[in-house]
Structure formats: C-alpha cells, structure tokens
Amino acid sequence: MSTLAARIRQRREQLNLSQEELARRAGYRSKSSINKIEKGINDIPQSKLEVFARALDTTPAYLMGLSSADLPAPPPGFEPLPEMARVPLVGSIACGGPITAEQNIECYIGVPSAWHADFALTCHGDSMAPAIRDGDIVCIRMQPQVEQGEIAAVRIGEEATLKHFHRQGSTVMLLADNTAVCPPMIYSGAQLAEIQIEGKAVGLCRGL
C-alpha cells in the first residue's frame, strides 16, 4: 500500500468518517472508489489531491507523506495556520428580525479547532454590526446556557436569531449591537417557553 493510500485511510478513520461519507465529500458516486483508493488499487489524479485534502481537513503535503519539517516556513511576519477542524455550515440565522433557520447542511468548512465549534451559520442583517456583518459566518458551540451578555444563537419558536443574551430575574432580553436596526427583544412569563439557546458564538469567518 502506498503512503498516500495509507494516509487517506488513516485520516478518514481519525475523523470517524465512513467510506460513503468520504466519497460524498470528494465527489465520488460510491464507497467502492474510496475502497480501491485506500487499497492502492486505483491512483488519485493530481487534480484530485487537493479535493481529498479538503475533504479530510488536512493538506496535500500530509497526504503525500511529507513531514512538517519538510514544509517551507512561513515568511517573516506571518504565522502558520492553526490546527483546523471541519464543521457543517447549516443554513442561516437572522441578525435582524428573526428568520426561519434552515437546518440542511450546505457544506463543510474549515475553522480553528481551538474554537471547539459544532456548526456554523451564515448571518443576514446588520443588527450585530459592526462586530458581525451581513454575510459573515459565525461558528457556534452547542450548549444550553451562556454567560450574561455573551452572543448566543437563540431559537424563538421555529425561528432563530443571534443576539447578546441577558437574563434579569424572570425576564430575558436579547440585545443587538445596532439598536437603530433592532430594538431590544424582551420575553417574560409564558413567552419564556418559546426560547431555547442553541449555543454560544465562538468564532467569526469573514471574507475580504
């Protein structure tokens, strides 16, 4: 078995992926193709190496068996990328008036593993600007509670929103950064039964 085949299998097992899941991520129709690649029966075209690296949350250099010492050092003033993890991008969340949060997984994205994120959401609206802008991807760690004032993904009935979470006695307030766009959202009494914290915002991804 070649180093490439062995590392693909090893990395897949580290991520607890089935051959079917890797096939889907890499654009193959069935697990039989992955099985043949891992056994060294079929070779991977050079054009597919980057695809496998992304699917396995690693680099082509790792799959080819190059050690970190063999990789070029980053230029002066730059830092190497942190260890990354793959999380599902699962639809959208409102940063203005709440919108229905779509739960279908759109794709998988790489984020720093130190965030310990469980999933990511694309934000719409400007109520959390300038810290969080329309189109930003926010990474969420699933947890049922957050500290006072932390940014949380909060489900309200069948909808969801991203706001600072505050609780005062029997009243919950969801506060936006941009109050001109979104005034405080206040819930008390029987309304509290409709509110559920989905998780805490732990990271932000933004394109240039």
Active site residues: 127, 163
CA-to-CA dists, residue 80 to 58, 84, 129, 143, angstroms: 14, 11, 29, 30
Residues in contact with 77: Cβ distance below 8 Å, sequence separation at least 6, in sequence order: none
Tokens read off for 133: 């802008």
Side chain identity at residue 78, one-letter code: F
What's the rounded Cα separation, in Å, for the pair 95 and 38?
Answer: 44
CB distance 161 to 152 below 8 Å: no
